[in-house]
Chains A and B, each alone.
Chain A
Amino acid sequence: MRHCYFDHNATTPLSPEALETLSECLAEVYGNASSIHHFGQAAKQRLEQARRQVAALLHARPPEIVFVSGGTEADNLALLGVTRPCAGKHVITTTIEHPAVLQACAQIEQEGGRVTYVPVGASGVVDPAAVADALRPDTVLISVMHVNNELGTVQPIEQIGRLARQAGVLLHSDGVQAAGKLETDMERLGIDLYSLSAHKLNGPKGVGALYVRKGTPLRRQMHGGRHERERRAGTENVPGAAALGRVCEWFQKHRTEEAARVAALRDRLEQGILRRVPAVTVNGDPARRAPHTTNLCFAGIEGEAMVIALDLRGFAVSSGAACSSGSVEPSHVLTAIGLRREQARSSLRFSLGRGNTVEQVDALIEAVADAAAHLRRISVEAPSHA
């Protein structure tokens, strides 16, 4: 059976460019980028080239890029690196953030800091006024994601950036789902810290970056050598960083047309499903979304059963958040925007990317219609027991 991938917000397939860069570096560029000899210099060259490529995507300067192990580490470094020691400090975030941000905030609270979780309504978009209302004299940091991973909704970062600047508070944004899809100009958006992950950009797992605006006070959270301008200790993952740089370059060149192509596919998918399947609603504000995501609620159908039914038909989609066993728990994002538990359990996320085609989308619409009809039929026929 042919398997088609519609779960790009979970991770993406490795692009040919990334594979080429990775294998070349793994095979040839084995020096330690901190060594002064020929081998070290070659590695350092690749690392700095990658830093320039990442910086270019963010309209930033290369020294503002810190390579880390991925989005989670970038979020942790940003939040804890700014806030520690936490006592007496206040952080503002939202209820729809990724667990990497929410759990880092929980740690800040553990360590004596205070955190305000700004609620988000049915639109899935935070109201900048609510963020402004949460400001206090002891607020040091606002952390609001750029694009929500479950809904695809775009957060009003530019407005939040302005109010952060006025209040003299730093702004962190988790850009893992936004980079490569939206314009990511740190200056224009008023962002001080921005998290990136390579594997959401058709790069490899295990590498990411944190943008740190020049002059931003940041305590390192990994102790050891003086790598990355003493912001992140540990021998640099040169092949990973080089591959991240390469995919950032690809998206910098192709972002506009690729985003338009993916948005057209996403809309075709969404319209097709809405036309073919009764009682389906879109979660989050469809007018304020990144191009690659749609989150749909199928009334009366269990999302988990739908994911399995679609997988057995050759289509990979997702529902909720995977728990440690691999089963599914209702997404905290969907309940945060006011969906009832059963609505959250009936929701599916379709996320598209570079490999998807019109043929795949049309086949997926058929499979969704078929699976939904089957699941609704059996839930009517299911015998009731005492």
Chain B
Amino acid sequence: MPDRPIAVAMSGGVDSSTVAALLVRGGQRVVGLTMQLWNQRRLPQLQTGESSGRCCSLDDVYDARWVAGQLGIPYYVVNFEADFEEQVVRPFVSEYLAGRTPIPCTLCNNFIKFDRFLEMADSVGAEKVATGHYARIRFDQVSGRYQLLRGVDTAKDQTYFLWGLTQPQLARTLFPLGELKKAEVRRLAAELGIPIADKPDSQEICFVPNGDYAAFLDAYLAEQGETRGAATGEIVDRAGAVLGTHQGVHNFTVGQRRGLGIARGEPLYVIATEPARQRVVVGRGEELLRPGLVAGQVNWVSWPPLTRPARAQVQIRNKHVAAWATLHPTEDPTRVQVAFDEPQRAVTPGQAAVFYVGDLVAGGGWIEA
């Protein structure tokens, strides 16, 4: 095909709809694709009645189809449910059961929103794909690498979830909203006549209603005919003194303060979970502080693989302010030792550590310990 179309991942939200509209206005041939990832009717006990803003609701597909119709572009819903379950939901569940606090969005970005989506783009003859992520990509002549940068709208920046992107993926991806602020996107959406310009933003973890991981886990395991085994256990302090009991370690996340059910003079926080022993370890706020961490399965994005110590700002949660640290290579090239300049609160295994220099995403990895 001489004039190859761009495949736009359309979620039915304002951002991706605006991306499609911008490309069409720029004279591009565009094919709109919505990824059907999860069947919301599958776990009926989780039904909230609130369907929009959650993963793959029929309302979102309706909106995406409407926008595609307004733009006059071919539009398809593609079914990635099986891949999503295998590569996102199951790892999410097993990570949780192993006492870590996983980020399914990163897995989804790596394996579904880019890998599978690029395959589908190939099928429709598209070279490039475009999404509504708030992030920027540029090609660096000197290093010969595609670089990933934070979106101009730092409040909406999504690079914390995009550190797993590979060079071949970045080479084919467009993030047209990376240079824009959300308010500008909404204004643009209204200007382009996108009928959903006022639609609220979607939730963070799309397939978990109301962010209630524990309820999702219970419902999913019940559906699969699996059990979690004995869930109750002890809440202890660092010295091992028993302070109370709990209904399952998966209900607790490092840094969590509420819901411990223990009355103490000073506030207590979860400082670790030990799923093997069904124990939740609690302590005072300062006991959450950690001088460093080990990041595994590291992916180098804008930087080539580390060969000697380097300085970077390391972000350990979506809302965390990246803190200066020194990155030390280890004997295992996929592992990096991070030594913070100042100890950081709530270093949580299963979350990502993303290495930045200013806006530039050097790389990232999963927090192991």
Please give the residue numbers on chain A whose beta carbons come within 8 Å of chain B beta carbons, in ascending order: 302, 304-306, 308-309, 311-312, 323-329, 374-375, 378-379, 382-383, 385-386
Contact = CB atoms under 8 A, between A and B. Distances in A.
Given A308-B76, A308-B123, A383-B168, A326 B61 contact: yes
A379 B125 CA distance: 13
A308 B65 contact: no
Contacts of A383: 166, 168
B58 to A, nearest CB: 6
B232 interface: no
Contacts of A378: 119, 122-123
A308 B124 CA distance: 7
What 8 pairs between A and B have smallest CB-CB spacing?
A305-B123, A327-B79, A327-B77, A327-B36, A378-B122, A326-B77, A325-B61, A383-B168
Interface string B116-153: 00111011110000000000000000000000000000
A6 to B, nearest CB: 17
A323 B36 CA distance: 10
Nearest to A306: B123
Nearest to B80: A327
Contacts of A374: 123, 125
B31 A312 contact: yes
26 contacts: A302-B123, A305-B78, A305-B120, A305-B123, A305-B124, A308-B123, A311-B76, A312-B74, A323-B36, A323-B79, A325-B56, A325-B58, A325-B77, A326-B65, A326-B76, A326-B77, A327-B36, A327-B76, A329-B79, A374-B123, A374-B125, A382-B118, A382-B122, A383-B168, A385-B115, A386-B297
Contacts of A309: 123-125
Nearest to A322: B77
B110 to A, nearest CB: 7
Contacts of B110: 385
Interface in B43-88: 56, 58, 61, 65, 74, 76-79
A151 to B, nearest CB: 21
Contacts of B39: 323
A339 to B, nearest CB: 15
Contacts of A375: 122-123
A324 B36 CA distance: 11
A58 to B, nearest CB: 38
A132 B131 CA distance: 57
Contacts of B119: 305, 378-379, 382
Residue of A312, A324, A378 ringed by the most chain B CB atoms within 10 A: A312
Contacts of A326: 61, 65, 76-77
Given A378-B119, A385-B115, A324 B58 contact: yes
Contacts, number: 65
Given A327-B36, A378-B122, A378-B123, A304 B168 contact: no
Interface string B155-168: 00000000000101
Given A312-B124, A375-B123, A378-B122, A325 B36 contact: yes
Given A323-B79, A326-B65, 19 more contacts: A305-B123, A305-B124, A308-B123, A308-B124, A309-B124, A323-B36, A325-B58, A327-B34, A327-B36, A327-B76, A327-B78, A328-B79, A374-B123, A374-B125, A378-B119, A383-B166, A385-B110, A385-B166, A386-B297
B12 to A, nearest CB: 10
A311 B74 contact: yes
B105 to A, nearest CB: 17
Nearest to B37: A327
A363 to B, nearest CB: 17
Contacts of B36: 323, 325, 327
Residue of A305, A311, A326 ringed by the most chain B CB atoms within 10 A: A326
A378 B169 CA distance: 15
Nearest to A328: B79
Contact of B125 (A302, A304, A312): A312
A383 B78 CA distance: 21
B78 A308 contact: yes
A385 B118 CA distance: 12
Contacts of A304: 78-79
Interface in B217-245: none
Contacts of B169: 385
Residue of A304, A308, A311, A375 ringed by the most chain B CB atoms within 10 A: A308
B104 to A, nearest CB: 17
Nearest to A382: B119
B68 to A, nearest CB: 11
Contacts of A311: 74, 76
B7 to A, nearest CB: 10
A4 to B, nearest CB: 16
A328 B79 CA distance: 6
Contacts of B297: 386
Contacts of A379: 119
A378 B120 CA distance: 10
A236 B58 CA distance: 33
Contacts of B31: 312
Contacts of B166: 383, 385
B296 to A, nearest CB: 12
Contacts of A305: 78, 119-120, 123-124
Contacts of A329: 79
Contacts of B299: 386
B31 to A, nearest CB: 7
A313 to B, nearest CB: 9
Contacts of B124: 305, 308-309, 312
A329 B294 CA distance: 42
Interface string B161-194: 0000010110000000000000000000000000
Interface string B318-353: 000000000000000000000000000000000000
A375 B299 CA distance: 29
A309 B56 CA distance: 23
B129 to A, nearest CB: 14
Residue of B79, B110, B168 ringed by the most chain A CB atoms within 10 A: B79
